[in-house]
Amino acid sequence: MADGHGEGWFGVRCLFRDADAGLYEERITLWQARDHQEAIRLAEREAVDYAGALEGVTFIGLSQSFSLEAAPGHGSEVFSLMRESELSEDDYLTRFFDTGSERQGEL
């Protein structure tokens, strides 16, 4: 949502691939922009630079934008994606979030 200055805050998720390591990376960055299109343009420009600084990594062209309701602060929601699915909770988590090939630790 744009503020009184004609700009708002946007979270943009971009997807990268490191073919050599067999990895995909989803990365969310924050941008102050006039609209979704400008936020995505800014994020994609940065995504190309980010990938270019890493050996074997490419930006594969997927960008998704989310408009923040207010300027980011403690506890701000920076991205949300809704997906329709008939899967059970366990099956949904297994299919999209806990496939067994994520690089994450236990808390």
Identify the three-state secondary structure at position 57: strand
Which pLDDT band, with edges at 50, 70 and 90, does 85 fall under? confident
* Number of other CB atoms surrounding residue 8 within 10 Å: 21
Mean pLDDT confidence for 59-82: 91
In the chain, the N- to C-terminal Cα span, in Å, equals: 34
For the chain, the domains span 8-70
Mean pLDDT confidence for 48-57: 96
Asked if 54 and 11 count as a contact pair (C-beta separation under 8 A), the reply is no
As a whole number of angstroms, the distance between CA 29 and CA 63 comes to 11
